[in-house]
Amino acid sequence: MSRLFIFVFLAILAAGLFPQNGFAQDALATSPFDVEQASRAYIDTLTGDALEKSNSYFEGGYWLIFWGAVVGFLVDFLILQSRFSKRFRDWAERVTTRKWLQPGLYALPYTIAGFFLALPWSIYTDFFREKQYDLMSQSFGAWISEQMIGIVISLIIFPLLLMAIFAVIRRVPKTWWIWGTGIISIFLFIGMLLGPVFISPLFNEYKEMEAGPMRDRIVAMAAEYDIPADHIYVFDQSKQHKRISANVSGVGPTIRISLNDNLLERTDPEEVAAVMGHELGHYVLGHTWRSILVLASIMAIGLFIVAKLAPRLIAKHGVRWGVRDLSDPAAIPLLSIILTVYFFAATPALNSLIRVNESDADLFGLNSAKEPDGFAKVAMRLSEYRKIEPGAIEEMLFFDHPSGATRVRMAMQWKADNVEQPTMTKPGKLEKD
């Protein structure tokens, strides 16, 4: 499947914090409050096999970034080199003579072929590896069913995207990459507007959160920043995995606050408040719009590279591939290959840009919820599948969220600066369910 579509689709469906496992804690009267000592009290609860497992899972993900790019490259190269791309184009031209429709028709067999060629890799990375580390709740049948839903969504969205982009390639061949960036930005906006209402419910059941103290607190936190809280939903993500999650999604009339059932069932109220403070922060700080701007800028550079490089490659190898020019839908795998390499090279920069937003939301959440220990607990829960204490360069290159250690230290520093006569807590060890 095209890297371009994956970029758009993941941006549409991107969500927030995840984790699990419970805590016990006791208050210790310590004076004066030592930030590093208080931080180590949390960080050092992760030891032994649990620490080794967390590090192994996350560090393995470094290689998955590379091998995922290799797989994407090879899938598109196979479709291009085998001249299947030409056959898909020829089929589209037999079906219709309308130039504007041909890229959309081409997208159908191309998307299906890419999905099945990459399926063995997806099965390993997204199912078996998750099962290996006890992070997956689904059966294989349930998992593959959701993949089928995803491919159906792809077969609707991707053709529309390609028709729009190839229309501007034909009409403004010199500056198409600028207009293409605008088109992708529009798709991102529409996805954020409609995704919470029409896409998310295809994967999970959403129910209004029951009335009670926790809902009242979330409503009060949202009201403080004029965030619409008419709809607060709980969705059944425990059927898929054990991680916690929440988000403030949508635009205008589709704005909604959502929490997964894991967050309510596996955490304490102060942790829920800490997570919701973070998610409300994304909304108040305008991270949705900032993210669209950043993603559009990154995509603009990628499309500019495509505009400069693809015509040269087509001139040199187009006859062998059966690709006529850049406006030929058969060139789509080549565009995808270039973007795959580009996004792989841009991974550290993209991670850092996202991590800045997450750090800003962390601080907002601390100021909003005023639950530093709840926030520290959540940071530790994340350690089941995120390396807790990476090196500085490692965190910069591979982390799209601040590490657990960074977040715990932020929480304890906030506690030292904002809580009168703060006391250090002695967290218990992470408990298995």
Give 321-372 pLDDT, tens digit per residue: 999 999 999 999 999 999 999 999 999 999 998 999 999 999 999 999 999 9
Cα of 415 vs its chain's centroid, Å: 30
Which of 108-117, 226-235, 278-287, 392-401 shows the highest mean pLDDT? 108-117
State the pLDDT at residue 145. 97
SS3 26: strand
List phi, psi (to 5°) of 19: 175, -165
77-86, 381-390, 421-430: which has the minimum mean pLDDT?
A: 421-430
State the total domains in the chain. 1
Q: What are residue 82's DSSP bridge partners?
A: none
- Distances in Å between the alpha carbon of 5 and those of 9, 65, 411? 6, 17, 37
Decide if 241 is inside a domain: no
Q: What is the pTM of this model?
A: 0.87
Decide if 257 is inside a domain: no
State the pLDDT at residue 429. 56
State the pLDDT at residue 135. 93
For the cut 60, the answer to whether the pLDDT of residue 128 exceeds it is yes
Beta strands in 40-183 (DSSP E): none
Beta strands in 23-83 (DSSP E): 25-28
Cis peptide before 159 (omega within 30 of 0): no
State the pLDDT at residue 426. 76
Average pLDDT over residues 136-155: 96
Residue-wise over 203-223: b if at least 16 C-beta within 10 A, else e?
bbebeebeeeebbebbbebbe
Decide if 254 is inside a domain: no
Decide if 237 is inside a domain: no
Q: What average pLDDT is seen over the chain? A: 90
Q: By residue range, what is the domain housing residue 300?
A: 3-198+267-277+285-427
Residue 278: CB atoms within 10 A of its CB come to: 27
Q: Which of 380, 372, 381 is nearest to 405 (CA)?
A: 380
Which residues have C-beta within 8 Å of that of residue 9, sequence separation ≥ 6?
153, 154, 157, 191
State the pLDDT at residue 424. 85
Which residues have C-beta within 8 Å of that of residue 333, sequence separation ≥ 6?
2, 76, 77, 79, 80, 85, 110
State the pLDDT at residue 5. 47
Question: Residues 205, 235: contact at Cβ < 8 Å?
Answer: yes
Question: Residues 76, 340: contact at Cβ < 8 Å?
Answer: yes
Decide if 236 is inside a domain: no
Decide if 48 is inside a domain: yes
Decide if 161 is inside a domain: yes
State both tokens at 304: 């500019």
347/230: higher pLDDT: 347
Percent of the chain with pLDDT over 70: 91
Decide if 203 is inside a domain: no
State the pLDDT at residue 76. 98
Residue-wise over 142-152: b if at least 16 C-beta within 10 A, else e?
ebeeeeeebbe
* Residue 139 Rama label (left phi>0; alpha psi -120 to 50; beta): beta
165-174, 187-196, 230-239: which has the minimum mean pLDDT?
A: 187-196
State both tokens at 64: 């998955």
State the pLDDT at residue 251. 79
Average pLDDT over residues 91-111: 97
Average pLDDT over residues 168-177: 96
Q: Which of 232, 288, 287, 284 is nearest to 263 (CA)?
A: 232
List phi, psi (to 5°) of 387: -55, 130
State the pLDDT at residue 208. 94
